[in-house]
Structure 1
Amino acid sequence: MNDIRHDDNMAALLSTPVDAGTLSRLHRRLEQEAERADLVDVAYTTIDSPVGELLLAATPEGLVRVAYAREDHERVLETLGQKISPRILRAPKRLDAAAREIDEYFARRRQVFDLRLDLSLSTGFRRLVQTHLPEIGYGQTRSYRDMAELVGSPKAVRAVGTACATNPLPIVVPCHRVLRTDGTLGGYVGGLEAKTLLLDMESAA
Structure 2
Amino acid sequence: MILKVLPVGQLKANCYIFGDENTNEVAVIDPGDEGQRIYDVIVQNGYKVIYIIATHGHVDHISAIKYLKEKSGAQVVIHQEDSEALLDSQKNLSALLGYHSIQVPADIKVMDGKVLNVGKYRLQIIHTPGHTPGGICILVDKILFSGDTLFEHSIGRTDLPGGNHQQLIKSIQDKLFVLPDDVQVYPGHGDKTTMGSEKKFNPFF
| TM range, smaller chain | under 0.3
Larger Rg: 1
Higher strand share: 2
Provide the TM-score with structure 1 as the length reference. Answer: 0.25
Question: Which protein has greater RCO, CA pairs closer than 8 Å, 6+ apart?
Answer: 1
Higher helix share: 1
Provide the TM-score with structure 2 as the length reference. Answer: 0.25
